[in-house]
Structure 1
Amino acid sequence: MPMARASSGLAYPERFYAAASYVGFGGSPKSSKGVISKFQNDVALLLYGLYQQATVGPCNVPKPRAWNPLEQSKWTSWHGLGNMASTEAMRLFVKILEEEEPGWYSRVPEFVVEPGVDGEINNPKSDSVTQNGNYFPETKIISTENESMETQDKDVVLEGLGSVGVYDQWVQLSISGQRPKARYEHGAAVVQDNMYIFGGNHNGRYLNDLQVLDLRNLTWLRVEVKAHTDSLESLSPVPLAPCAGHSLIPWENKLIFIAGHTKDPSETVTVKAFDLQTCTWSTLKTYGKPPVSRGGQSVTVAGSTLVMFGGEDANRALLNDLHILDLETMTWDDIDAIGVPPCPRSDHAAAVHAERYLLIFGGGSHATCFNDLHVLDLQNMEWSKPMQQGDIPSPRAGHAGVTVGENWFIAGGGNNKSGVSETVALNMSTLVWSVVTTVQGRVPLASEGLSLVVSSYNGEDILVSFGGYNGQYSNEVYVLKPSHKSTLQSKMTEMAVPDSVTALHNTTNATRDVESEFEAGQEGKIREIVVDNVDSESLNVKSEENKERLLTALKAEKEELEASLTKEQLMSLKLKQELAEAETRNTDLTKELQSIRGQLAAEQSRCFKLEVDVAELRQKLQTMETLQKELELLQRQKAASEQAALDAKQKQSSSGVWGWLAGAPASQKADEASE
């Protein structure tokens, strides 16, 4: 089951299949029949080639031998794309369709896009139910590996969060009110007892609606946005542009909206705020140098600052830069931290521990997913990569995380093949992973782009999940009540581990610890040499003079070793600097290579279109030459006919004069005279 990651190079599968279905490829609905015939021949052939490249792969079939111009052109279109990656073919397919018919997505019917193995659009499974035009499983409670529970009928309504009586298991809630459109890559935030949902991606379309779930009575409500505060002359609301892959952060009595993918992206990141009291959006003025626009980034609250890391810019280039926004002064600060940062990525998860340590886990690039863990000391601004323990999670991207005390819960995500079924937790004090629960089947908890927030009921923390995409879009709500006396906690407490802050502090200073151990080891060796030599020599040398000579020699040897140690340290420092410079150059070259590849693919597509145009012009030229020859032949025939007619007329005229002179019959003369 292919996943649909927006930021890691797979942002186009669901949009591609919707576009292919609209054009008429791959099991299109009835409403899309004949759409491909509206395009010019070259565009239609190019779309066909890109569709084959995206769903089948490079063209390995032999060229058609029979003289069939259409099949020859289709084969040439497909074969001309070479070894272009399927994701790039998807992107170009959607791009060309948007250039030729910008409003195509507004005419796509609401149906579930579920790509099959062969790239066709499959129908949903028969054991699903239809709600709001989307298909969802017919279960209420998801079974786990440790304990399976009876499913509840769809008509059973759970009464609030207090009805969740089980621990460490995901429970689907029945919500009243009109549910939001199914989506993923949306923003979610909890303020008091309300969970706010904004934007997201549905069927390749970006959304800009603001919905709220009252967690006390489990009712969906749509927020009516009032007139924009930036435009006092406007009497109607001014909604934000539809977006996905953004961040929604609760701050005081506002919801801060930051970054995200839009159809017409700006050059830099903008910060907007929704006032919960006045129900109005406003643009916040910031100072300093703002980051480049992006989506799929992580934005984490650390005290009175927001820490932004990574993401994917509007040109699909992956990022690993670090920026901090001071919420009190609204000033951006571009951070150049020391150490080795995580490689460029998007759709990762981030959390802050003890108001000092930023943790980055997982994420994806254009080709792979990660399961590495990186820690940034926000005081020293130094990156480190600690050693993980316990049940280390598998690589994933598009997952969501939330912290409860010292535990960092992570759910969902995908690995380019399937959704991740297990929900894991990291004890940020010990850096030990444990599996909390595992879901079965294709359910929203095994999705990419879902949201995960934490609410409270009667003093107990409850995780709340919404949305996601795993071949089907979801708008279901699931909750999980983490246990305080679970095996997760007991396993952590049984291990002999240092204090939380000390453990992370030691982790972030791992490099300095290795160097200090090296120095201490060298000094220890020197002391051992001195002691051993003194002990051994003192048995044989009895005179004070020999002892002084020995001590002098040992001191000289010690000084030589210390000089050698200093030299090795300088060499090590130099090598570290060269390594950091090499990694920086490698990162820049990688970004440049990605950009060049994108430009090359675009130029290749344009070259292919030009080749198709040239072929058509050659055919027209040959036709014109044939018509020219036929025209010349007709002109010669016409000239010959006119000359023959002229000769005949002259001959007739000449014979009439001589007949008159020779004396024609009277009747003939009379006739000629009457004429």
Structure 2
Amino acid sequence: MMKTSSVKGGLVSNNTASSGAGSRLEVRAWEKLHPQGDVYSPRTGHTVTSKGAISSSGLGSEGAILTGLFVGMMATDGHVYVFGGTDRRRRQQDLYQLDIESSTWSQVQTRGSLPPRRSGALGVVHENEMFIFGGYDGRDGNYFNDLFYFNFDSQRWDQMPSVAEDRPEPRTDHIMVLHSSSIYIFGGYNGSSRFNDLCGYDIVAKRWSRLQTGGVVPSRRFGHSGVVHNATNRLIIFGGWDGRDTLNDLFEYNFVTNEWRKMETSGNSPPHRYRHTAVIFGDNMFVFGGVDKTHSRFNDLQRLDLGTEHAMEVHGVSAVVVAYLTRAYCVQ
């Protein structure tokens, strides 16, 4: 099967929301996608993961991604799911699905306890359920630290139980990944403070924990990207904003040793950026888009070989994607 990554939505330089584009990684070609059906309203910022190879952005050796804010987007069993986000009118709490085979959108009629309207909720898929955490309601200045899940069979939303004092602080612009049967949250922003804590949620035990990690811990940041390389049990994070400047540093967290390490890459490192997106494809991490300190938006595609730790820009052909602030990616 041809491996294809997709970019869904986002904010371009004239503050309009975009539809989508795909890149055939094996032939380095972009092409614009034209889905039909009951399409959700144009909105910005989102997260993509793919069932079966996930980490939020969840990210396995063949798929997925996570970063951005405002919208949660998942690819599972031939469908992409989009939750919530912000359009020109307000924050949303709707759920849409894209049938990848027919390229058709439809709204999902959900049941249960819907998550409150929000942007900045990130998500992962574990088995037959989609989990979302955090976000921001915009109007009232409320940041969330709740964890909801959606069952694909029953099409029902419910909130995951947890002890309040064990939860991470409310936040948005964090990363959310899945490794084994646990969800991990790193970094983010709550309107006044940035974070560099790593928190885990055991899906089976239904319990949060704050990890006491060793090594060289990344600085406080938000708007960074994170992917999981399951073959080596590593979480890789790149870039972000520390409150003073955009970043282009790269760190790995080893799930086995509980240690952080700053990665020193060879080649040409990507320019400083945040609110970009990243995806795992084989043993490579790809980074696309984002914005820098001067508000310049990127439409470049950067590659990091996780074996050699060599970085380089990928020069594609065909329909080049316009520069984005946030967007979503998935690999099929």
TM-score band by shorter chain is 0.7 to 0.9
The aligned counterpart of 1:467 is 289
- Residue 193 of structure 2 aligns with an amino acid whose one-letter code is T
Match of 2:197 among 372, 387, 390: 372
Deviation at 1:208, TM superposition (A): 3.0
Structure 1 residues 455 and 210 mapped into 2: Cα distance closer, same or farther (>3 Å)?
same
Counterparts in 2 of 1:432-447, with a 5 A limit?
432-437=259-264, 445-447=271-273
Deviation at 1:247, TM superposition (A): 2.5
Match of 1:287 among 99, 107, 111: 111
Deviation at 1:444, TM superposition (A): 5.2
For 2:138 and 2:195, the matched residues in 1 are separated by 22
Residue pair 2:177, 2:185 contacting (<8 A) in 1 also: yes
The aligned counterpart of 2:75 is 250
Match of 1:428 among 255, 261, 278: 255
Per-residue CA deviations over 1:196-255 (Å, capped at 9, x if unaligned) read: 0011122361413110011111111001223x1x5xxxxxxx563233332222111122
Quick check: 1:336 aligned with 2:137? no
Residue pair 1:206, 1:262 contacting (<8 A) in 2 also: no
Quick check: 1:409 aligned with 2:236? yes
The aligned counterpart of 2:4 is 194
The aligned counterpart of 1:450 is 276
For 1:270 and 1:221, the matched residues in 2 are separated by 28
Match of 1:323 among 148, 151, 163: 148
The aligned counterpart of 1:349 is 175
The aligned counterpart of 2:217 is 392
Match of 1:278 among 81, 95, 102: 102
For 2:134 and 2:89, the matched residues in 1 are separated by 20
For 2:264 and 2:21, the matched residues in 1 are separated by 29
Residue pair 2:19, 2:42 contacting (<8 A) in 1 also: no
The aligned counterpart of 1:216 is 26
For 1:429 and 1:208, the matched residues in 2 are separated by 40
Query: RMSD of the TM alignment (CA)?
Result: 2.2
Deviation at 1:445, TM superposition (A): 4.7
Q: Which has the higher helix share?
A: 1
For 2:274 and 2:136, the matched residues in 1 are separated by 16
- Residue 223 of structure 1 aligns with an amino acid whose one-letter code is L
Per-residue CA deviations over 1:354-400 (Å, capped at 9, x if unaligned) read: 1x211111001212211011111111211111211111110010011
- Comparing 378-387 and 198-207, the one that deviates more: 198-207
For 1:296 and 1:192, the matched residues in 2 are separated by 31
- Residue 290 of structure 2 aligns with an amino acid whose one-letter code is G
For 1:445 and 1:252, the matched residues in 2 are separated by 35
- Residue 33 of structure 2 aligns with an amino acid whose one-letter code is V
Per-residue CA deviations over 1:478-536 (Å, capped at 9, x if unaligned) read: 0111118x8xxxxxxxxxxxxxxxxxxxxxxxxxxxxxxxxxxxxxxxxxxxxxxxxxx
Structure 1 residues 217 and 423 mapped into 2: Cα distance closer, same or farther (>3 Å)?
same
For 1:384 and 1:378, the matched residues in 2 are separated by 12
Match of 1:241 among 18, 37, 42: 42
Structure 1 residues 440 and 340 mapped into 2: Cα distance closer, same or farther (>3 Å)?
farther
- Residue 453 of structure 1 aligns with an amino acid whose one-letter code is V
Structure 1 residues 439 and 420 mapped into 2: Cα distance closer, same or farther (>3 Å)?
farther
Q: Secondary structure at the match of 1:301?
A: strand
- Residue 215 of structure 1 aligns with an amino acid whose one-letter code is L
The aligned counterpart of 2:330 is none
Per-residue CA deviations over 1:578-605 (Å, capped at 9, x if unaligned) read: xxxxxxxxxxxxxxxxxxxxxxxxxxxx
Q: Which has the higher strand share?
A: 2
The aligned counterpart of 2:325 is none
Per-residue CA deviations over 1:277-310 (Å, capped at 9, x if unaligned) read: 2111111121101101211221011222111111
Per-residue CA deviations over 1:10-63 (Å, capped at 9, x if unaligned) read: xxxxxxxxxxxxxxxxxxxxxxxxxxxxxxxxxxxxxxxxxxxxxxxxxxxxxx
Residue pair 1:194, 1:215 contacting (<8 A) in 2 also: yes
For 1:349 and 1:438, the matched residues in 2 are separated by 22
For 2:266 and 2:86, the matched residues in 1 are separated by 30
For 2:201 and 2:302, the matched residues in 1 are separated by 32
Per-residue CA deviations over 1:166-218 (Å, capped at 9, x if unaligned) read: xxxxxxxxxxxxxxxxxxxxxxxxx9611100111223614131100111111
Structure 1 residues 418 and 296 mapped into 2: Cα distance closer, same or farther (>3 Å)?
same
Residue pair 2:215, 2:259 contacting (<8 A) in 1 also: yes
Deviation at 1:438, TM superposition (A): 5.7
Question: TM-score when scaled to structure 1?
Answer: 0.40
Structure 1 residues 240 and 300 mapped into 2: Cα distance closer, same or farther (>3 Å)?
same
Structure 1 residues 438 and 369 mapped into 2: Cα distance closer, same or farther (>3 Å)?
farther
Counterparts in 2 of 1:148-167, with a 5 A limit?
none
* Identity %, equivalent residues: 24
The aligned counterpart of 2:124 is 300
Structure 1 residues 440 and 259 mapped into 2: Cα distance closer, same or farther (>3 Å)?
farther
- Residue 272 of structure 1 aligns with an amino acid whose one-letter code is Y
Counterparts in 2 of 1:30-179, with a 5 A limit?
none
- Residue 347 of structure 1 aligns with an amino acid whose one-letter code is D
Question: TM-score when scaled to structure 2?
Answer: 0.78
Q: Secondary structure at the match of 1:285?
A: coil
Deviation at 1:420, TM superposition (A): 1.8
Residue pair 1:261, 1:295 contacting (<8 A) in 2 also: yes
Say how many residue pairs are matched. 279
For 1:294 and 1:444, the matched residues in 2 are separated by 31
- Residue 170 of structure 2 aligns with an amino acid whose one-letter code is P
